[in-house]
């Protein structure tokens, strides 16, 4: 074998060794990658970089980068998070918050002046308030602030979401983004229905 062939063989061996080392390092990295599920609570776009805040088993992660496959992610979506060397990245969407059959939640809520409760239903990013209520008293009110609060997970994305009453009552409630409730009208001590609906950006209740 001439000197040129020997030199080429040494170069090929060195390249092969380098590639083998890189491949082994890749597999070692894969062995230490952890995969966990999380819920998206906020989305940020800064200088073309898309990141998300996540709720992962009660722990909040801020500014986690996302792959291009997750560009259409929304608040409340369930996502896959891969972590290596303390660096996390969102790599996939497991379920959409708009999948109504998987993301239905509800909670009882007692309205101001009510002897009974109605229910708040969370379906994707929509909330529906509905039920029958017996009001305890009558009397005209005008934009009065009440102690009752709409719970987190069901609060409107914009102020003044409205819950209206049915027959024999003119009372309606206005719900703010922070869950505070204002009332106007007259309940007339009626037994009547309450209905309302609005969009929400709250994280999906667990």
Decide if 74 contacts 202 (C-beta within 8 A).
no
Query: For the chain (length 206 residues), average pLDDT per consecutive 10?
Result: 62 58 51 78 84 88 86 86 83 73 77 92 86 87 91 94 90 95 93 91 80
Alpha-carbon dihedral 91, 94, 97, 102, rounded to 10 degrees: -170
Listed residues 63, 78, 95: the one ending a domain = 95
In the chain, how many domains are there?
A: 3
| In a shared domain, residues 121 and 182 | yes
Q: Classify burial at 79, counting beta carbons within 10 Å of its beta carbon; exposed 0-12, middle 13-18, buried 19 or more.
A: buried
Does residue 206 belong to any structural domain of this protein?
no
Does residue 204 belong to any structural domain of this protein?
no
Distance of CA 172 to the CA centre of its chain: 28
The CATH number linked to 74 is: 2.40.50.140
The CATH number linked to 117 is: 2.60.40.1830
Neighbours of 118 (CB within 10 A): 19
Listed residues 47, 63, 95: the one ending a domain = 95
| In a shared domain, residues 81 and 146 | no
Neighbours of 163 (CB within 10 A): 23
Decide if 97 contacts 74 (C-beta within 8 A).
yes
| In a shared domain, residues 22 and 72 | no
| In a shared domain, residues 57 and 127 | no
| In a shared domain, residues 170 and 139 | yes
pLDDT of residue 22: 56
pLDDT of residue 138: 81
Does residue 168 belong to any structural domain of this protein?
yes
pLDDT of residue 11: 60
| In a shared domain, residues 38 and 108 | no
State the Cα–Cα distance between residues 147 and 182, nearest whole angstrom. Answer: 9
Residues of the domain holding 119: 104-199
| In a shared domain, residues 88 and 43 | yes
Does residue 205 belong to any structural domain of this protein?
no
| In a shared domain, residues 114 and 147 | yes
The DSSP bridge partners found for residue 23 are none
pLDDT of residue 88: 86
| In a shared domain, residues 84 and 168 | no
């Amino acid at each position: 074998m001439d000197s040129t062939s020997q030199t080429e063989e040494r170069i090929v061996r060195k390249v092969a060794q380098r590639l083998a080392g890189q491949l082994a390092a890749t597999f070692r990295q894969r062995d230490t990658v952890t995969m966990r599920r999380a819920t998206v609570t906020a989305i940020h776009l800064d200088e073309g970089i898309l990141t998300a805040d996540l709720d992962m088993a009660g722990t909040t992660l801020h500014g986690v980068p996302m792959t291009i496959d997750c560009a259409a992610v929304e608040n409340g979506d369930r996502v896959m998070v891969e972590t290596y060397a303390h660096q996390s990245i969102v790599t996939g969407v497991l379920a959409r918050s708009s999948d109504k059959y998987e993301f239905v939640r509800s909670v009882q809520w007692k309205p101001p002046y009510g002897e009974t409760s109605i229910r708040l239903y969370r379906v994707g990013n929509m909330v529906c308030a509905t039920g029958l209520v017996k009001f305890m008293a009558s009397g005209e009110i005008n934009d009065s602030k009440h102690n009752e609060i709409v719970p987190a997970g069901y609060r409107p994305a914009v102020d003044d979401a409205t819950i209206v009453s049915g027959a024999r009552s003119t009372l309606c409630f206005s719900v703010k983004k922070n869950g505070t409730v204002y009332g106007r009208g007259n309940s007339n001590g009626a037994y009547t229905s309450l209905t309302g609906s609005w969009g929400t950006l709250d994280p999906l209740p667990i």
